[in-house]
Structure 1
Amino acid sequence: MNAIERWVPTVRMDFPAKNPFWVKIINLPDQHCEKRSVKRIGEDLVEYMDWKDTEPFPMVRVMVECDSSLIFNRETVSDIGEIFYIEFNYVKL
């Protein structure tokens, strides 16, 4: 026996709206792989949580909202005006 009920698009209050991810920052120049620069990139990306200095790419831990679009690449500017293009690889996405 099956009970059939009309589907209604609702979200329960206990439904997870955010997920944490580790994000590898690819193509970041070596002179910018310090905590301050990596933290700033993570804060600009989404809600920043933590960072790791891993080889060969630094990583940031961020909290991503489930209904927002992910950012996979970005052009960024250093403190001295240097422009470079970085990519983001979401670990276990």
Structure 2
Amino acid sequence: MLILQRWEPIISPTFPAYIPFWIELQGIPLHYWQKDLYSIGEELGGMMKYEITSTTARIKVLINGFQPLVKETIIEYLDGAESIVSLEYECLEIHCRFCYRLTHDTYKCQESRGEG
């Protein structure tokens, strides 16, 4: 992951806070794709755009890089039915597979050390 920002004499402690990611959504019934993409994107941090093809639904959202990644969510439909939706982040390389944070890799995770 590479982020470019104009140089400033003092770097904010929250840099880089928001990072754009494309996310493929898996588990949404086809007839709900259009309706639920926006609400999922807004819940994750901020919807930028979406793409729907005959086989996939993807959203581009701004993710707070200091918060754990959301890997699945539950969608509740008006008829009372629910779906578990898996979120597959595209081009996601090094991150912690234990706590799902972007700030470190799995080997440096403080939370995993308590799991002895």
Q: Do they superpose with TM above 0.5?
A: yes
Partner of 2:61: 62
Stretches of structure 1 that go unaligned for 5 or more consecutive residues are 1-10
| Residue 38, structure 1, aligned to residue 33, structure 2 | no
Q: State the Cα distance separating 1:81 from its structure 2 match.
A: 1.9
Identical aligned pairs, as a percentage?
Answer: 22
Higher strand share: 1
1:31 is displaced (CA, Å) by 1.1
Q: Deviations over 1:13-46 (max 9, x none)?
A: 3942211000000011111111x32111211222
CA RMSD of aligned residues (A): 1.9
TM-score (norm 2): 0.63
- 1:78 matched to 2:77? The reply is yes
Residues 21 and 90, structure 2, Cα contact 8 Å, conserved in 1? yes
- Flag the structure with more relative contact order, 1 or 2, with Cα contacts below 8 A and sequence separation at least 6: 1
Q: Shift in Å at residue 56 of structure 1?
A: 1.7
Per the TM alignment, residue 77 of structure 1 is displaced from its structure 2 partner at its CA by 0.4
- CA 44–79 in structure 1, closer or farther in 2 if over 3 Å, else same: farther
Work out the CA distance in 2 between the residues paired with 1:15 and 1:73: 26
Contact 2:44–2:63 (CA<8 Å) still a contact in 1?
no
TM-score, structure 1 as length reference = 0.77
Look at both structures and tell me which one has the larger radius of gyration over its CA atoms.
1
Name the counterpart of 2:16.
Answer: 16
- Structure 2 residue runs without a partner (length 5+): 1-9, 93-116
Greater than 2 Å deviation, 4+ residue runs: 13-16
